[in-house]
Structures are given as structure tokens and as C-alpha cells.
Amino acid sequence: MSHPHPELPSPPPLDPAALRVVPLGGLGEVGRNMTVFEYAGRLLIVDCGVLFPEDNQPGVDLILPDFEYIRDRLDDVEAIVLTHGHEDHIGAVPFLLREKRDIPVVGSRLTLALVEAKLKEHRIDAYQLQVKEGQTERFGPFEVEFLAVNHSIPDALALAIRTPAGLVLHTGDFKMDQLPLDGRLTDLNGFARLGDTGVDLFMTDSTNAEVPGYTPHERDIADVLDGVFARAPQRVVVASFASHVHRVQQVLDVAVAHGRKVAFVGRSMVRNMGIARDLGYLTVPGGTLVDLKSIDDLPPNKVVLMSTGSQGEPMAALSRIANRDHPAIHIEPGDVVVLASSLIPGNENAVSRVINGLTREGATVVHKGNAKVHTSGHAAAGELLFTYNLVKPRNVMPIHGETRHLFANADIAVASGVPRERVALAEDGVVVDLLDGVAKVVGAVPCGYVYVDGSNVGGVAEASLKDRRILGEEGFISVVVVVDSVTGKVTGGPEIHARGFAEDDSVFDDIRPELVAALEKAAEGGNADTYQLQQTVRRTIGRWVGGRLRRRPMIIPVVVES
Amino acid sequence: MSHPHPELPSPPPLDPAALRVVPLGGLGEVGRNMTVFEYAGRLLIVDCGVLFPEDNQPGVDLILPDFEYIRDRLDDVEAIVLTHGHEDHIGAVPFLLREKRDIPVVGSRLTLALVEAKLKEHRIDAYQLQVKEGQTERFGPFEVEFLAVNHSIPDALALAIRTPAGLVLHTGDFKMDQLPLDGRLTDLNGFARLGDTGVDLFMTDSTNAEVPGYTPHERDIADVLDGVFARAPQRVVVASFASHVHRVQQVLDVAVAHGRKVAFVGRSMVRNMGIARDLGYLTVPGGTLVDLKSIDDLPPNKVVLMSTGSQGEPMAALSRIANRDHPAIHIEPGDVVVLASSLIPGNENAVSRVINGLTREGATVVHKGNAKVHTSGHAAAGELLFTYNLVKPRNVMPIHGETRHLFANADIAVASGVPRERVALAEDGVVVDLLDGVAKVVGAVPCGYVYVDGSNVGGVAEASLKDRRILGEEGFISVVVVVDSVTGKVTGGPEIHARGFAEDDSVFDDIRPELVAALEKAAEGGNADTYQLQQTVRRTIGRWVGGRLRRRPMIIPVVVES
């Protein structure tokens, strides 16, 4: 699952006049965004996020960008600049700071507040520099101008990065909602001004490049919510992302309009909305918020529950409600549940299980599939065209997305008039140099997946995941044989244990005599070698279980000397 | 994952004047459809299909309906009537016939041909009765009239089942394409005639009840394919379901129009299209079909590959092509790949990996998300309304779908004027009796999931699946201790082996002395009891691995006597 690029050479030494761009995450996947810029021996890091694992990465908690490329060069890092506060842009910051604590962390007010909560958990006290749109800061040879962009979290920034090699415009995640809830528009005037000056490399969000047209306004959702709240005879439960301040704001506003009180449900919802409220990003009308404990004292038609769990996460509040497993909340007929969120690919079955459970309990479930209760945070193809026409970039490098999204974004750039040879299509680890006004792929650096797994960071290799996949699909058999260390004879066992496929170890009664015979033959003369006995076990058991049970469990022969 | 209904009682003895309907699969899930009808002590089975496992059922090959309810009554079964030849309607027939070989199997010509291929694999020679639309047959007390319906496989049938208790109309899977490729319309005249006579219970396909409007015509896809073929500079690869004869027919026709030859790719595609062609359901213009081996002799713009793997199945042809792992087919820039299929929920990540791989190799990928290259085989809400108005049923029982689909279908019935109390909402195992013109839920019978796992049918319990989930997420540690059977002293080990989480067994060097000390303490005096030593291992290792590695692997203590 890593993206080695064996067809690409190691990059050449960096030309003193060139800017080097090395994506360490986020190109070829949706998540763990991280890009390293290098000029004259100094490094600037943009974003440092996590990726959430897929089904074929069992037991993994998180996936980090691969820091290997910069591990020996942490002293050269001028700063980590964060575009916004989503996990896939900030989640790996504590892991990088664990390797070097004094790298300055730069971001907007809300972004830093969300990072701060993470750093506290990791007991890291970081150097922070708070910035806002319109501001320009210098980090070594990098001059960075911050521009406002609109996204599904407040206070997101695009970056104009100037070095003597040229001007790079990096959008971060963005869209172009022309009626944003907080009035903070994506700074297209800034994009236009930079475009008129001359943007040498435009790095832009590919997530929705396959989606035609324009992303609907966040504000449009309010009308839909209003209708849902108006018709709901009993309680309304709304689930969304715990960082989507504007979505929650709309729920609060509609609740007030219908005389309903709101309780936050789920630890991250309570925490993030606390931060957003303290900093003034969320406005809570007086008396609207109630404690979850007190909701049973209110008439059901005066209640809104604002919950986590919109992706069907099994331990989140909404799944537990759907499974009749939540300590405080039980669905009653007439309750309405709104999934005001996207459906992240891979979560379909989990979300459908939640919808089925809620339906069975008597709830009406409103979701993206039957009502316009969600709009994306990423610019669709139409918006991307706008930006290409405004920015008129000399070179383009699509970022943030799976391969299909990067290619689709490239096609949009070409449609707007950018020559195809000026579009640098890179994936994680692929190195792009900007030199003399031309951006080109010049090589690749090793860049794998780094798994966080319990307390273990990076120690879990693909081999362990492969073992887990086999164990999870097929189970295992362990066979223990005791060998006398003096005589070399088999003196104990074979003890056969299996998990994950046989209900009952008595199925091994058939094979035991055959195995004993094979082991005795191998141990004949008392000079059995451990490896030889292991191979005997593996071969005998493997053949039998494959033929008889048609399975291929992991076989663990254990030879103990006694 | 079973649907026990502890809140429902066992059903009462069947009234001699009543018809009993017992769904054993397909209600509460999409798949393993099977319904048992009982009248006067005799049984009629409609469909007998399989369900494909989800991620939380690891290692499972197939899931069958639970035959437990009828296991002691197989002598009472008059026939298995099959509505059409899809796996989720016929796949479990061999497993039922294994329990009693002489139950007659009834179905249309294509359906029986597809069942026959399965039965051959299982070496079963079944009694078969071939039927067609317009025909009426009697099976004991059940008189069954067969009506044509249009679906995503040819030769599908609806069933009008008459007993003295009343008339049941069972749609099977269907839609109402008004321009079907084979001219074989869903027999709405028949539905209307039955409606005028009086349908006591209408059992109808819920799969698309949440989809508003009407399913587009299969024929509309031809125009889209035509455009794609016209613009494709090199080869065209089309992936679809291996049973979708009409989709393949359209690909053949469009290929001929553009002077291209077609090769079938994938074992099931070759087999099923062979059957369909032999029986006259697929028309292959002379000289169109070529062998996969000879495609490299043709110019790329004269080639179409008709392939399996549209759901991203890892071993199917298309995944292997996308992974550069197919022996005969390698994507070249300019190739166009069309996924002319639905995207079954749960397969999103797998399909996206295929699209990313093909894109990276230079292919243009056309799919349901960016072109109208698929239309569903199931009636959408608008079509369902039509049928309710034509059939004017006294009672309704939504079938085929997850809970959310069944509830949505119920709402459509009610919107058409069926009183809500006349809609029997049942899930697998829930028993509905039709008596005196009223259908009512009267109880429930046990109805679990039956897993096929290697050669093992039904022997895999939820406990094994739970073990697999733990093994897959967390891995395991086995600790082997040898105890002298005479002295009771620990004479060998502890040997510690772990798989799935530690890269290197040397991490256990830390815990080994502690474990030895604990074991020695437990074995003090030479009277260590096996269970006691196991518990010592479990406790010591569990505490350490939880605290130190933050993991909870399965712990297998093995105490061997020597």
C-alpha cells in the first residue's frame, strides 16, 4: 500500500536556484496531508495530518506520513504551517514534535486551539505562532502570505509561498461558497492579484475534481433542516462531524426557531464545540444548550440531540443508540434522525446498519440520500476551473486526493489552458522541482505507510498486517511438541490448539495419530533437529487441513526443549 | 447479526384455513432470499439463494438461509420454485438438495440452466420442472401461475400462488422497463387481471423502494456505450456482472457497430455467456467473438474485452489488470475501461482501488459516477406505486431488502391507499399468517446466519467469527510451558510466540523473567495445576501487553506435560 516509485530515480542534488516540493502524504489518498518545501537547504512543512485505516489494515489506529525523508534534517525545518484544523491536516503534528519539540507550529486561531488540545494529550508544549488572513510571515527563505479560504471548518487558510525560485499558491482544502455562514469568503481577489503577479506553481485541492458543477451553499441546508424540524413530531437527533462548527451553528439556529433545546452528545462534539464557543466561532443563544442528563425532563418535541457517529463508527453515540445500547438515549417511534454529513467511502455498510437499526426502532431517518442535508467542503470541478482562470498558473501540481482525483484535477487544469507538460502529476514521495519557472518530476524518495498501533508508532510492518489478515480470515493452529534436550526424543505433545475456524478441538483427533507417526519418524535415532520437526508439523497439518477442511490457517509449530 | 425476535412468541399451530408465510432469508438484508409457504401441512419453497459476507464476517465464503425451521419437514416440501437465476435466489439450492435430493426444482429455462451448472459441481442430479410465463402448475395444495417480469437477467418470473386461503402475488425481483431488450415486458396486464380478481397478499421487491421515480431503460445505455466506443482511441474494456446477458448483448452490438471484436475475460463470464448463447438468450453476430489469446494480433482499436470484476473483487480479472498482475492483459495509455455495473455497498474502497490503478496505468475510466453506463434491475418507488395501484392488494408484505428498504416499501403501499395495519412488516424468521383475508405477524421462528466456510457448512459459529475479528485486529500471543508430569515442576519454557503485532519476539525479553518468576511461584511445591498455570500466564502477559504495548491480543497459554 505504499507508493514506492521504483521507476523513478533518487532526486538529483537540489539546484541552488530551485524550490523542491516533496509530498509525504495526501497525494494518492484522502488523508495524512503533508508537504515539504525545500529551498537553499532549509525546509518548510505544510500540514501534518493522519489517515484513517481501511479494512485491509486491521487493528491499525492511525496512519502517519512517513517522516523518514526529513528525519535527519529536522534541524533544517523552519516551521510547520497548518492550513486548517481537520485531523487529516493536523493529526500527526504531535508525532512530528515528539521527534523534535521546538519546531514552531503556525496556524490560525481555531486551528491552533484544536492542535493545542492534541498536544496536551501528548504532553507537548509547542512554540506556536498564530496568524490570520492578510498577514505575511517569513520563515527562513520562505515568505508566506496567508489568504482566507472557505471550507467545512472555520478559519481555513491558503498559502502563497515566495522564494527566489518563484511563487507557489497552495490552496489547502477549500471551496468557494459565495454565501458562507460567517461571511468569510475564499479570497478570490487575493487569488486574482497573485495570478496577475504570476503564480509559478499552483497546488490545488483535488478531492472533488470528479464532481461536476458547484458545491451547494452551506446555508441551503438550513431550509431543509427547518422543514425537518417543523414536521418532527418528537425528538430530533442530528449527527455530523464534531468539527463542523457551521453545521452545528445551523442546527442551533433552527432549533431556536422551533423552540427546541439542544444537547451535545459524544465526547469530541462536547469538546470541539466548547473550544469553538470559547473562541467565538460558535454562537449559542442563551438557554438553548442543555445537559444530556436533563433531556428527559423536556417534552420530546422540544429536544434536539446533536451527536457524533455520522459515519457509523461502532463506539460512537449514534451507533449505540441504533443498537439500543446507549445508556441515556433510546429511540421512540416518531423520533427523527438526521445524518447531516457526507458518507465517507468504506463506511457504507456501517452507516446502513445504523439506518436499519434506527428504522427498526421506529425513527424516520433523513440522510444525504433522501434530502439535501449535507454539502461538501471541497471545490467541485466548476469551482476549480474558476480558480485556474483567476490564477493563470505557469505550472500546476494537483494535491489532496486519490490518484483518480489528481488525474481529474489535471484534466481540469488542461481544459483551462495549462499545457499538459506543465502539470506535475505526483504521488506521495514523488519529488517536484521548480526551476527557471518550470515544475518537473525529478525523482522519488522512499515514502511508506507509518502505522500507529496501540503505543507502537511505525513498528508495525506490512508483514504484521499480512499476518493479521491471514489470522482474521483463516484463524490459526498451533502445534506444540516437547523434545528431550538430551536424548532428542519427542517426549510430550503434540498439543493442538486452533482458534477462528474449528468449533471444537476434537476435529484434530483424526490427524493426531498421523502427526505422532510423522514426528516419531522425524525424531528417529534421537537426533531430531528443531527446524526439521517444525517442517514436519507444518507439512502434515497443512496438507490435512487443506484437504479435509478446505482452509489455510496460519500454522505455528512450537518445539520446546525439556 | 441474526434476527432473533425475542419480543415475538413462537407461532401458534397453523389454522387449517390459513396460509403461513415464513421468510428464512432476504428480509432484513439484500441476499439469501428464501420463503416458505405452508398450507394444510404442505410446504412450498420460493427461492433459495446465498448472501455474500461483509467485512465483519471474515473468512466466510457464503451465507445460507437457515434451514433449521424446515429440517424435520423436508418430506412435506412439494417443490422449490425459483423466480430467476441470480445467486441470491438460486445459490443455496445445492445445499438444500444435499439434505434431501428429490425435492423438485421448478424454474424457467435459463434459471434451470444456471442451477444445473451449480448442481453439477455438487454432483447432484435433481428433479427439474421447466416452466414459462402463462403456465400454471399445481404442487400439492399450491397452484402456481407464472408471470413474466423484467429484471437484470432474462427469463425472470413472478408467481401467483393460489390456495383456499387466498391469492398471493410474489413479484420476485423485478422492474418495469417499458422498452426491454428482449421485448419481454413485466406482465402488467397479468398483474391487473389478478388485481381485478382480488389479491389477498402482495409480496413485492423492496430493493429500490428508497429510490424516487423510475429506473431508466436498459436500452438507454447503448447510446452511452456507443459514444464511449466511438471516442476510444485504443482498446475498450467493459466490466459487468457475469449474468447480465442483456448488458453483454448491448456491448456485443455496439462492438459490431464499431467494427470491434470481443473477447470474454473471466471464468464465470465465459461460462454464463456460453449457456446464454446455447439457449438463445444471447445473440453473437458471426465472427465477433475472439479468443483472449488472439487479441494481441488485432489493432487495439478493434478490440473489446468483456470482463468480470466490476465490484473490485481482488481475484477477478479487472483487479488483476489494475494491479499489473494479469497474465494476458496490460493497460496501455489510451485504453478505456467501462464499469457498466452498480456499485454494491461495501465494495466502494475495492472499486476505487481498481479505478486508481487503471488511472495510474493511463486508462480513462468510465463508471456510473461519471456516465449513465448502468441501470438497476429493481423497480424504483414510482414503479412500485404503479404496481400497488394495479394490484389493489388487500394485504402487503414487503420482501427483498434491508430493514430500511422494507419500511420504505411499506410507506409506498400506504401512500397508494393500503391501510397501514394491512402491511405486514417482517424480517427473517418472522411468521405471517393469511387467514380470512387478513395477513398478520403471528410470531417468529429461530433463524440465524449459516456460514459456509471452506468445506464446513453451518459449523462456524458467531464465536469463531468473533475469534477471527480479535485475531485480525489484535493478533495473538501463545505461551508454552512444559510441566513435569511426575514432579509437577516447570521444566521447559516459557516459549513466547506472537503474530500480528510484534515484529520481533525480542520485545518479550522484558517480560520473560517476570513470567518465569510468576510461574515458579505458581508451581511452588510441585503441585501446579494446569488451569492455574494458564491463568498465571494469561494474567501476567495480559497486564504487560496492555500496559506496555497498549494492545489486547488473544492470549493462548499452552501447558504441556512431559
DSSP letters, A56-107, are TSTT--EEE--THHHHTTGGGEEEEE-S---HHHHTTHHHHHHH-TT--EEE
pLDDT at A503: 59
Q: Is A28 left (phi over 0), alpha (psi -120 to 50) or beta?
A: left
Q: Which of B205, B335, B428, B433 is the catalytic position?
A: B205
Residues of B with CB below 8 A from A467's CB? 475, 499-500
CB B238 within 8 A of CB B306: yes
Active site residue B467: no
d(CA B110, CA B155): 6
d(CA A61, CA A250): 32
d(CA B311, CA B306): 14
- Judged by DSSP in three states, A486 sits in coil
As beta bridge partners, residue B262 has B289, B304
Lowest mean pLDDT among A350-364, B16-30, B506-520: B506-520
For range B532-552, the mean pLDDT: 84
Same domain flag for A427 and A473: no
d(CA B27, CA B424): 12
When scoring A206, A482, A487, A530 by the number of chain B Cβ atoms within 10 A, the one with the most, hence best to mutate, is A482
Residues of B with CB below 8 A from A561's CB? 492
Quick: pLDDT tens for A62-99: 899 999 999 999 999 999 999 999 999 999 999 999 99
As beta bridge partners, residue A106 has A81, A129
The answer to the question of residue B160 being in a domain is yes
What lies within 8 Å, CB to CB, of A211 at 6+ separation is: A376, A380, A381
For residue A58, give the nearest of B472, B493, B497 by CB distance.
B472
Q: Is A223 left (phi over 0), alpha (psi -120 to 50) or beta?
A: alpha
Same domain flag for A54 and A147: yes
d(CA A162, CA A469): 46
Quick: pLDDT tens for A465-503: 888 888 888 888 888 888 777 777 777 778 888 888 765
Number of compact structural domains in chain B: 3
Residue among A551, A510, A558 at smallest CA distance from A533: A558
Query: By percentage, how much of chain B surpasses pLDDT 70?
Result: 97
Same domain flag for B434 and B477: no
Is pLDDT of A20 > 80? yes
Residues of A with CB below 8 A from B497's CB? 478, 556, 558
The answer to the question of residue B10 being in a domain is no
pLDDT at B3: 43
d(CA B264, CA B282): 13
Mean residue pLDDT across chain B = 92
CATH code of the domain covering residue B177:
3.60.15.10
Quick: pLDDT tens for A105-135: 999 999 999 999 999 989 999 999 999 999 9
Q: Does B9 touch chain A (CB under 8 A)?
A: no
Q: Does A550 touch chain B (CB under 8 A)?
A: yes
Cβ count near B123 (within 10 Å): 8
The helix (run of H) or strand (run of E) holding residue A515 is helix A512-523
CB B464 within 8 A of CB B456: no
- ipTM for the complex? 0.83
Listed by number, the residues of chain A in 59-118 with a beta carbon closer than 8 Å to a beta carbon of chain B are: 59
For residue B495, give the nearest of A471, A476, A558 by CB distance.
A558
Same domain flag for B361 and B496: no
d(CA B79, CA B477): 51
As beta bridge partners, residue A399 has A205
Cα nearest neighbour of A556 on chain B: B497
Task: Measure the CA angle with vertex B74, ends B69 and B76; round to 5°.
Answer: 105
Lowest mean pLDDT among A389-403, B244-258, B340-354, B421-435: B340-354
The answer to the question of residue B6 being in a domain is no
What lies within 8 Å, CB to CB, of A278 at 6+ separation is: none
Is pLDDT of B327 > 60? yes
At residue B464 the predicted structure's pLDDT band, cuts being 50, 70 and 90, is confident
Chosen domain end from A367, A387, A419: A367
Chosen domain end from A400, A426, A454: A454
Same domain flag for A189 and A45: yes
Query: Cβ A404–B454 below 8 Å, yes or no?
Result: no
Query: Cβ A355–B467 below 8 Å, yes or no?
Result: no
When scoring B210, B336, B455, B482 by the number of chain A Cβ atoms within 10 A, the one with the most, hence best to mutate, is B482
Residues of B with CB below 8 A from A551's CB? 59, 453-454, 456
Report H helices in A429-486.
462-474
Q: Name the residue with cell 432474462.
A: B154
Q: Pairing mode, if any, of strands A364-367 and B142-149?
A: unpaired
**What radius of gyration do chain A's Cα atoms show?**
28
What lies within 8 Å, CB to CB, of A320 at 6+ separation is: A309, A326
User: A62-76 burial by CB neighbour count: b if 16+ within 10 A, else e?
Assistant: bbbbbbebbeeeeee
The answer to the question of residue A3 being in a domain is no
The answer to the question of residue B7 being in a domain is no
Listed by number, the residues of chain B in 342-381 with a beta carbon closer than 8 Å to a beta carbon of chain A are: 345-346, 348-349, 352, 355-357, 359-360, 365, 369-370
CA atoms within 13 A on the CB side of A418: 31
Largest CA distance in chain A: 89
Q: Does A210 touch chain B (CB under 8 A)?
A: yes
Query: By percentage, how much of chain A surpasses pLDDT 90?
Result: 72
Residues of B with CB below 8 A from A346's CB? 348-349
At residue A528 the predicted structure's pLDDT band, cuts being 50, 70 and 90, is low
Q: What is the 3-state secondary structure (H, E, C) of B306-325?
A: EECCCCCCCCCHHHHHHCCC
The domain in which residue A232 lies consists of 220-367
Residue among A460, A445, A463, A452 at smallest CA distance from A98: A452
Q: How far out from the chain centre does Cα B366 lie?
A: 25
B61 is in an annotated binding site: yes
Q: Cα dihedral sign for A421, A424, A430, A433? A: positive
For range B22-32, the mean pLDDT: 95
Q: Which of A66, A205, A335, A433 is the catalytic position?
A: A205
Residues of B with CB below 8 A from A352's CB? 345, 402, 404
Active site residue A367: no
pLDDT at A526: 66
Same domain flag for A301 and A177: no
For residue B348, give the nearest of A58, A345, A471 by CB distance.
A345
The helix (run of H) or strand (run of E) holding residue B341 is none
A367 is in an annotated binding site: no
CATH code of the domain covering residue A532:
3.10.20.580
For range B507-519, the mean pLDDT: 83
As beta bridge partners, residue B337 has B237, B365
The answer to the question of residue B1 being in a domain is no
Same domain flag for B332 and B224: yes
Quick: pLDDT tens for A417-454: 999 999 999 999 999 999 999 999 999 999 988 988 77
The answer to the question of residue A444 being in a domain is yes
**Please, what is the angle between helix A188-197 and helix A381-391, to 10°?**
40
d(CA A515, CA A494): 8
CATH code of the domain covering residue B281:
3.40.50.10710
For residue B562, give the nearest of A55, A365, A492 by CB distance.
A492
- Judged by DSSP in three states, B345 sits in coil
d(CA B291, CA B261): 10
Q: Kindly report the length of chain B.
A: 562
Q: Does B492 touch chain A (CB under 8 A)?
A: yes
C-alpha cell at B74: 423436508
Q: Does B544 touch chain A (CB under 8 A)?
A: no
User: B186-208 burial by CB neighbour count: b if 16+ within 10 A, else e?
Assistant: bbbebbeebbeeebbbbbbbbbb
When scoring B7, B343, B558 by the number of chain A Cβ atoms within 10 A, the one with the most, hence best to mutate, is B558
Task: Measure the CA angle with vertex B235, ends B229 and B237; round to 5°.
Answer: 80
Residues of B with CB below 8 A from A319's CB? none
Mean residue pLDDT across chain A = 92
d(CA B481, CA B479): 7
Quick: pLDDT tens for B214-229: 999 999 999 999 999 9
B3 is in an annotated binding site: no
Q: How far out from the chain centre does Cα B306 lie?
A: 23
Residues of B with CB below 8 A from A58's CB? 472-473
pLDDT at A2: 40
Q: Does A530 touch chain B (CB under 8 A)?
A: no
Residue among A9, A37, A7 at smallest CA distance from A442: A9
A186 is in an annotated binding site: no
Same domain flag for A352 and A295: yes
Sheet with A554-561, strands from edge to edge, namely A490-499, A476-483, A554-561
Q: Does A472 touch chain B (CB under 8 A)?
A: yes
At residue B1 the predicted structure's pLDDT band, cuts being 50, 70 and 90, is very low
CB A521 within 8 A of CB A532: no
Q: Pairing mode, if any, of strands A450-453 and A456-457?
A: antiparallel
Chosen domain end from B433, B454, B475: B454
At residue A3 the predicted structure's pLDDT band, cuts being 50, 70 and 90, is very low
Same domain flag for A30 and A142: yes
What lies within 8 Å, CB to CB, of A482 at 6+ separation is: A490, A491, A492, A493, A559, A560, A561, A562, B482, B492, B560, B562
Query: Cβ B468–A473 below 8 Å, yes or no?
Result: yes
Measured in Å, how far apart are chain A's first and last C-alpha atoms?
A: 43
Lowest mean pLDDT among A228-232, A320-324, B500-504: B500-504
Listed by number, the residues of chain B in 410-469 with a beta carbon closer than 8 Å to a beta carbon of chain A are: 453-456, 459-461, 463-464, 467-469
DSSP readout, A223-273? HHHHHHHHH-SS-EEEE--TT-HHHHHHHHHHHHHTT-EEEEESHHHHHHH
Same domain flag for A165 and A289: no
For range B104-123, the mean pLDDT: 95
What lies within 8 Å, CB to CB, of A509 at 6+ separation is: none
Is pLDDT of A460 > 80? no
What lies within 8 Å, CB to CB, of B188 at 6+ separation is: B176, B386, B387, B390
For residue B403, give the nearest of A360, A453, A460 by CB distance.
A360
Shortest distance between the Cα of A383 and any Cα of chain B, in A, equals 17
Amino acid found at A195: G
d(CA A319, CA B56): 15
Lowest mean pLDDT among A152-156, A159-163, B483-487: B483-487
Same domain flag for A95 and A236: no
The answer to the question of residue A14 being in a domain is no
Shortest distance between the Cα of A469 and any Cα of chain B, in A, equals 6
How distant, in Å, are the alpha carbons of A311, B261, B369 from that of A349? 10, 39, 19
CB A289 within 8 A of CB A264: yes
Residue among A366, A228, A354, A319 at smallest CA distance from B403: A354
Q: Pairing mode, if any, of strands A105-107 and A77-81?
A: parallel
Q: Name the residue with cell 471541497.
A: A378
Query: Cβ A476–B475 below 8 Å, yes or no?
Result: no
Q: Does A487 touch chain B (CB under 8 A)?
A: no
Same domain flag for B299 and B175: no
Quick: pLDDT tens for A249-286: 999 999 999 999 999 999 999 999 999 999 999 999 99
Query: Cβ A467–B503 below 8 Å, yes or no?
Result: no
Residues of B with CB below 8 A from A495's CB? 558, 560
Q: Does A50 touch chain B (CB under 8 A)?
A: no
